[in-house]
Structure 1
Amino acid sequence: MKKLLFLVLLLCSTSLFAQEEKYQLSEDDYQNESVEMADTMRQSGKIYVVVAVVITIFAGLVFYLVRLDKKVSRLEQDIEAQGKEKA
């Protein structure tokens, strides 16, 4: 019952995030080849800070996953060893 209620509330709430107004695209939008935000950040040198933060986060996630994999592998070996001792 709780799952059904949760599902109904979830489906009702998704309509709250829908856009009501559509953004009208013009020919200028299709011809635009520059990205103002990236150009501004590149000119001020802040793009390198953004890249460094993204790389740091990615490296942290990889490090965490490698450590987690080693721990799980060690636990699996311990469980297998305990199973062999009991048999």
Structure 2
Amino acid sequence: MRNGLLLLLALVLPVWQALAQAPTAQPEMAEVLRQNGKIYVVVAVIVVVLAGLLLFLISLDRKLSRLEKEVREER
């Protein structure tokens, strides 16, 4: 589980820093989406995709841990 979280942090931190350093001028597309209220749909889709990736990584980590445990018990 620890490796999955470290991988997630390694993927999220550069994006977080890039967003924090974004210029103050808003792109035209973001302004249009905000005016139409569709920016919330975009944010919701991004959150769902990231949550799915996180759940996949947690699931993968659990399966890997179980396989490692089985290999250790066979020895």
- The alignment's TM-score, normalised by the length of structure 1, stands at 0.57
**Alpha-carbon distance between aligned partners in 1 of 2:71 and 2:40, rounded to the nearest angstrom:** 46
2:67 corresponds to: 75
The gaps in structure 1 that reach 5 residues or longer are 1-32
Which is bigger in relative contact order (C-alpha 8 A, separation at least 6)? 2
**Alpha-carbon distance between aligned partners in 2 of 1:35 and 1:81, rounded to the nearest angstrom:** 57
Q: Secondary structure at the match of 1:34?
A: coil
- Kindly report structure 1 stretches of 4+ aligned residues shifted beyond 3 Å: none
Query: Which structure would you say has the larger Rg?
Result: 1
**Alpha-carbon distance between aligned partners in 2 of 1:39 and 1:57, rounded to the nearest angstrom:** 23
**Alpha-carbon distance between aligned partners in 2 of 1:71 and 1:45, rounded to the nearest angstrom:** 40
Displacement of 1:34 after TM fit? 3.2
2:43 corresponds to: 51
Please identify which structure carries the higher helix content. 2
Equivalenced residues, count: 52
Q: Percent identity?
A: 49
Displacement of 1:35 after TM fit? 1.5
For the aligned residues, what is the CA RMSD? 1.3
The gaps in structure 2 that reach 5 residues or longer are 1-24
1:38 corresponds to: 30
- The alignment's TM-score, normalised by the length of structure 2, stands at 0.66
**Alpha-carbon distance between aligned partners in 2 of 1:46 and 1:34, rounded to the nearest angstrom:** 16
